[in-house]
Amino acid sequence: MREKQTVMKIEVVRNILEANDRIALENRAIFDSNALLAVNLMSSPGAGKTSLLERTIDNLKSELNLGVIEGDIQSSHDAERVAKKGIQVVQINTGGACHLDGNMVRNAFEKLDLSLINLLIIENVGNLVCPAEFKVGEHFKAMILSVTEGDDKPSKYPLMFRESEALLINKIDLLPYVDTSLDRIREESLKVNPGLVIFEISCKTGQGIMEWCRWLREKI
């Protein structure tokens, strides 16, 4: 006799990333209880995240206690660069994953003394797509776009531009050598996210870094 099979529909309605969202919320609560501001810093590879960190640390370390979580697929080069500045830093190697998630950040900050930090910058893996999808417990996201990447990125990678509170346009010292239009970057970014705060900077020359640091200082 053939076994009777009943097909049943189960209504689920659950957010696929709910487990990560839950951990991110817990991380955020831990940051709040330590009265620290956490920033999730994102960009494509080579846009200048670590250089921005170095500049930011130089500018703010006399008045703030900074901490850094460095996310990379492999290597500890970035953490070594930042550690030279004499601040607390921990390296995450995602071992292939293209983004950080709540759990990786949790495991990393457990190695830091959060009670001694007012500003924690979490440098995400270089990637314009995936990091925007995963909350890690940050208070806000900031992103860098360098002028060598072109001015069409906001409409190609809208999620990151939409999710970020600040956009740093880096390498403006190279503008004479590229066809990128700053006006177009501004215009395209503001279409995706009208509230975006935009800084034009050069980590090479230091231009615009003061404005960024002042803004960051006011957020704390």
Residue ranges binding other proteins (CB under 8 A) = 5-20, 97-99, 101, 129-130, 132-134, 154-155, 157-160, 162, 190-194
For other proteins, the closer of residues 101 and 200 by Cβ is 101
Closest to other proteins by CB, 94 or 118:
94
Q: Among all chains, which residue has been given the structure tokens 């500003």? A: 119
Q: In the complex, what is the shortest distance from the CB of residue 49 to other proteins, in angstroms, rounded to a whole number?
A: 18
- SS3 state at 44: coil
Closest distance of CB 99 from other proteins, Å: 5
Measured from the CB atom, the residue of 1 and 13 that comes closer to other proteins is 13
**Which CB atom, from 159 or from 175, has the smaller least distance to other proteins?**
159
Residue 114, both tokens: 């959060």
CA distance 220 to 218: 5
Nearer to other proteins, 150 or 158 (CB): 158
Neighbours of 86 (CB within 10 A): 10
Minimal distance, residue 152 CB to other proteins, in Å:
12
The pair of three-digit structure tokens given for residue 166, joined into one six-digit string: 């600040």
Minimum distance of other proteins from residue 110's CB (angstroms): 21
The angle that helices 18-33 and 102-109 make with each other, rounded to 10 degrees, is 30
Sign of the alpha-carbon dihedral angle for 85, 116, 78, 179: negative
Q: Cβ 116 to other proteins, closest distance in Å?
A: 32
d(CA 28, CA 39): 11
Q: How far is CA 75 from the centre of its chain?
A: 18
